[in-house]
């Protein structure tokens, strides 16, 4: 039996990614004839599962190393893009799915304008981003631990709805719905894992990759950390159980924001 792609192995031990995929599978309705732009596909992990919902997908990213990694999993319809305009005609896509990408972009206003341009009339944007707010204390802990934005490849920490909604409206993208997820316990686990990877495994200094360097960026790097990953796999059931304590915090907003917006006619 062939070994699973290393990206899928990571996904199966990623609480945050699995929670995000559950929300997307419920909230992303795709017709068989839909054309979908996967804007900022990163290593292609979530793209792999979303493509199984049908439609014609084109996955793009600025980072060439991301595209190389994603190609091993997605195989086709991948394109490296530049930092500004998208290389597509206007009204080319029924939907744009952009997951944890906007916070990496220097000019987020232009990015949203380009999304509006390539969407068909009535087209939908599904966007996720880190969620910010004064009561989300783990952002402060991250800073105290010396985990600078550069290590994540971020231009900004993220957005709250009050900040993001006007940006969407200015790009003529009407907010339809929103959800937050990854409450304190899930986010705390993610923070500790990222901290340990940066401290003991990442290359010295801020990563030059679009996503920084908080996880393996290639098959070779994953293989070199295989023993550590096997150990984490052993304790994963305990980690997962700890993360489910989030359910006790139903009154608390999550550290990730997921929005659905529609192109204004």
For residue 11, which of 223, 244, 178, 216 has the smallest C-alpha distance?
Answer: 216
* Cα–Cα dist 80/68, whole Å: 10
SS3 of 229, please? helix
* Cα–Cα dist 211/150, whole Å: 9
The answer on pLDDT for 210 being more than 70 is: no
For residue 25, which of 8, 5, 48 has the smallest C-alpha distance?
Answer: 48
* Cα–Cα dist 9/18, whole Å: 12
Is the dihedral angle over the CA atoms 233, 237, 243, 244 positive or is it negative?
positive
pLDDT-derived band of residue 208, with 50, 70 and 90 as boundaries? low
Tell me the domains of the chain and their CATH numbers. Answer: 6-263 (3.40.50.150)
Q: How is residue 198 annotated by DSSP?
A: H
Inter-residue contact 214 to 10 (CB < 8 Å): no
- The percentage of residues in the chain with a pLDDT greater than 70, rounded to a whole number, is 94
Q: What is the pLDDT of residues 33-72, one digit of tens each?
A: 999 999 999 999 999 999 999 999 999 999 888 888 899 8
Q: What is the pTM of this model?
A: 0.91
CA distances from 148 to 34, 136, 145, 201, 239 (A): 39, 17, 9, 16, 25
pLDDT-derived band of residue 205, with 50, 70 and 90 as boundaries? very low
pLDDT at 206: 44
Mean residue pLDDT across the chain = 90
Inter-residue contact 92 to 222 (CB < 8 Å): no
In sequence order, the β-bridge partners of residue 119 are: 93
Work out whether strand 256-263 and strand 173-181 pair parallel, antiparallel, or are unpaired: antiparallel
Q: In terms of DSSP H, where are the helices of 81-160? A: 108-118, 138-144, 149-152
Is the dihedral angle over the CA atoms 244, 245, 248, 250 positive or is it negative?
negative
SS3 of 248, please? helix
- The single residue listed with the structure tokens 């609480």 is 15
Task: Count other Cβ atoms within 10 Å, centred on residue 208.
Answer: 12
β strands within 73-133, DSSP E? 78-80, 93-99, 119-130
Burial 50-76 (b: 16+ CB within 10 A, else e): bbeeebebbbbbbbeebbebbeebbee
SS3 of 262, please? strand
């Amino acid at each position: 039996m062939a070994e699973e792609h290393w990206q899928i192995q990571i996904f199966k031990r990623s609480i945050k990614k699995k929670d995000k995929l559950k929300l997307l599978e419920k909230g992303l309705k795709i017709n068989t004839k839909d054309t979908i732009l996967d804007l900022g596909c990163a290593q292609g992990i979530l793209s792999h599962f979303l493509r199984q919902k049908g439609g014609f997908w084109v996955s793009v990213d600025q980072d060439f190393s991301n595209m190389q990694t994603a190609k091993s999993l997605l195989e086709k319809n991948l394109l490296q893009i530049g930092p500004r305009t998208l290389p597509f005609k206007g009204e080319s896509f029924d939907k744009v799915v952009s997951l944890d990408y906007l916070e990496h972009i220097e000019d987020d206003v232009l990015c949203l304008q380009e999304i509006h341009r390539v969407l068909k009339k009535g087209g939908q944007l599904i966007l996720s981003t880190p969620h910010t707010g004064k009561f989300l204390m783990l952002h402060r802990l991250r800073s105290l631990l010396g985990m600078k934005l550069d290590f994540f490849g971020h231009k900004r920490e993220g957005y709250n709805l009050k900040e993001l909604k006007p940006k969407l409206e200015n790009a003529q993208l009407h907010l339809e719905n929103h959800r937050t997820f990854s409450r304190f316990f899930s986010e705390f686990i993610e923070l500790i894992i990222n901290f340990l990877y940066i401290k003991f495994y990442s290359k010295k200094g801020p990563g030059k990759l679009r996503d920084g360097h908080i996880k393996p960026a290639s098959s070779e790097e994953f293989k070199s950390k295989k023993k550590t990953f096997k150990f984490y796999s052993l304790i994963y059931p305990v980690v997962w159980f700890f993360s489910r304590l989030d359910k006790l915090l139903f009154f608390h907003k999550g550290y990730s924001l997921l929005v659905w917006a529609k192109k204004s006619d």
